[in-house]
Structure 1
Amino acid sequence: MGGLDAATLEQLQGQFLLWVLIFVRTLAVLTTAPLFSHPGIPVILKASIAALIAIALASTQPPATMLELHPLALIPLLLKEVMLGLLLGFLSSAVVYAARFAGGLLDMDIGFQTALFFDPALGGFPTLVGEFYAFAALVLFFWLDGHHALLLSLAETLRIAPVTELTLRFPSAQVLIGWMAQLTALALNIAAPAMAALFLTLWALALLARSAPQINIFLLSFSAKVVVGIGVLALSTPLIVVLLRRALVQLQSDLLTLVRALQP
């Protein structure tokens, strides 16, 4: 039985190289994407899912021939794929990070930071309210089909920024600063109701300390902040869900904006 001719072998080799580059971009996206960025997700699972997605995306690309590249010339292409994938995945997780940051602010005000424990999976001290808000944002992300928007954006990047081309224009610093400002505003809006209530609580305790100095306000403040904080968190949950939903819907258009901004 005869072997493959040179043209077929070259085409197969080119298709394999195309799949490898798409796989690297997809794996970089999953590294920073919601849920998959958690250290508890096994690397082999991320790689397997990235490989399946890369196979599906590679089948939509036009037939490729073997790139006439020296092995060292592939390094810039691989670095481009990693940077692009990390940026796309990070933006898709931005709302989750903002929610976790907002919860961290409230944990400091309420006093929950005294009950923190080290999480070896995260390599840090996750805050109670922060993890609750992050989980809520993660559930809403999948409920609003954010993962579909992420996959569509990933597929769109293959059209605007093909894996075989080194030319790429990343978003300007002004655009990135604008996104960071929006995320900071989102975090402050999420934490604002509870922070305002806690500020009024401390103000009332300060007045009580002046009018009744015999009361141990220091000890009373711990329980008062916990009660007020939990109460306001429960009452403001519908508002927080609305804010997160609005931000996640905006995120889907931001992903497409990012992809279009990559076009040289």
Structure 2
Amino acid sequence: MFDFTSVQMQAWVASFIWPFFRITAFLVASPLLGHTAIPHKVKLALGVFLTVLIAPLLPPIPSIPVFSMAGLGLIIEQMLIGIAIGLCMRMVFSVVQAAGEFIGMQMGLGFATSYSPDIGSSSVIISKFLYQITLLMFLAFSGHLVVMELLLDTFRILPIGGVPLNPGAWKLMALYAGTIFSTGLLLALPLIAALLLMNLAMGILNRSAPQLTVFAIGFPLTLTVGLVLMMVMMTSFGPFLERLFFSGFEFIKVMLAALGEKRV
């Protein structure tokens, strides 16, 4: 028979429970694996599977009782690390969503909205279209594998129970959120500028020839030109997403290094 003590049992539980909370928090917060279309049972099963795989490879786990205040604090710390990585990737995808909102409003499709369960609110249909393409491109670039590698690498950069998290890293992540507007506007800027010039020309035409029904042809013309310009934009959409994903991965590395910095 196999005999084991309560100390050994506690060590086995601790070696599983700490990484489980970090991995599961990432799966819930990430834009791809955390999508509402994926059942919670699947996310939970994937978290258990990944934890069982990497638990033997982790550094020594601190001997902290699981059911204690110190254990609760360690659980919250692991969840914060996983959520931070997931939020960084969600910011990357929000860049494309913001660009879709800008383009849709300029094309006159601000009324064409639908409910997005992944963000919990309504979004312009152009934004959802670009978001779905971004998800497919993320899989094509093997971005999900890169993110999982970064997640597993956090156990080396931020070992469980190692150093306290540096609060300055959260400010760094908040500043990175500004790329949602700046980079999204940069992506949509060619279409916005072209459609703005076209609306300006139609306004001048309406003033010079009031008998022309510019308002009757304005919306279909704007919509047609916008769709044509989006087709042209798709030729460079892939390289743009590749650079966007790469910058997101680099920022995750910077943020993890900042979280592990010792406070003076």
Q: What is the TM-score of this pair, normalised by structure 2?
A: 0.89
Cα deviations across residues 205-251 of structure 1 (Å, max 9, x unaligned)? Answer: 10111111122322322111101110111111122222111111222
Identify if the C-alpha distance between structure 1 residues 228 and 121 changes in structure 2 by more than 3 Å, giving closer, same or farther: same
Find the aligned partners of 1:32 and 1:69 in 2 and give their Cα distance. 24
Kept in 1, the 8 Å contact 2:173–2:255? The answer is no
3-state DSSP of counterpart to 1:112: coil
Cα deviations across residues 12-60 of structure 1 (Å, max 9, x unaligned)? Answer: 3212222111111111111121322221211111111111111112121
The match for 1:207 among 204, 208, 213 is 204
The match for 2:232 among 231, 235, 251 is 235
Greater shift, 56-65 or 230-239, is seen at 56-65
Amino acid at match of 1:56: L
Kept in 2, the 8 Å contact 1:13–1:65? The answer is no
**Unaligned regions of 5+ residues in structure 2, if any?**
none
3-state DSSP of counterpart to 1:95: helix
* Residue pairs, 1:109-258, within 5 angstroms: 109-119=106-116, 123-165=120-162, 167-172=164-169, 175-258=172-255
Q: CA deviation at 1:89?
A: 0.7
* Residue pairs, 1:72-83, within 5 angstroms: 72-83=69-80
Amino acid at match of 1:104: E
Kept in 1, the 8 Å contact 2:98–2:127? The answer is yes
Identify if the C-alpha distance between structure 1 residues 62 and 86 changes in structure 2 by more than 3 Å, giving closer, same or farther: closer
Find the aligned partners of 2:150 and 2:169 in 1 and give their Cα distance. 19
Amino acid at match of 2:259: L
How many positions carry a matched residue from both structures? 261
Corresponding position: 1:53 with 2:42: no
Kept in 2, the 8 Å contact 1:153–1:259? The answer is no
Identify if the C-alpha distance between structure 1 residues 37 and 70 changes in structure 2 by more than 3 Å, giving closer, same or farther: closer
Amino acid at match of 2:57: T
Kept in 1, the 8 Å contact 2:111–2:124? The answer is no
Find the aligned partners of 2:117 and 2:29 in 1 and give their Cα distance. 18
**Percent pairwise identity:** 23
Cα deviations across residues 149-203 of structure 1 (Å, max 9, x unaligned)? Answer: 2122212211222223461114446533542233322201111111111101110
Corresponding position: 1:89 with 2:86: yes
Kept in 1, the 8 Å contact 2:21–2:79? The answer is yes
3-state DSSP of counterpart to 1:238: coil
What's the counterpart of residue 103 of structure 2?
106
Identify if the C-alpha distance between structure 1 residues 65 and 177 changes in structure 2 by more than 3 Å, giving closer, same or farther: closer
The match for 1:21 among 18, 23, 38 is 18
Q: What is the TM-score of this pair, normalised by structure 1?
A: 0.89
Kept in 2, the 8 Å contact 1:28–1:85? The answer is yes
Divergent runs of 4+, >6 A: none
Find the aligned partners of 2:74 and 2:36 in 1 and give their Cα distance. 27
3-state DSSP of counterpart to 2:257: helix
Find the aligned partners of 2:142 and 2:17 in 1 and give their Cα distance. 27
Amino acid at match of 1:22: P
Structure 1 vs Structure 2 CA RMSD: 2.2
Kept in 2, the 8 Å contact 1:33–1:90? The answer is yes
Q: CA deviation at 1:66?
A: 4.2
Find the aligned partners of 1:13 and 1:82 in 2 and give their Cα distance. 20
3-state DSSP of counterpart to 1:59: helix
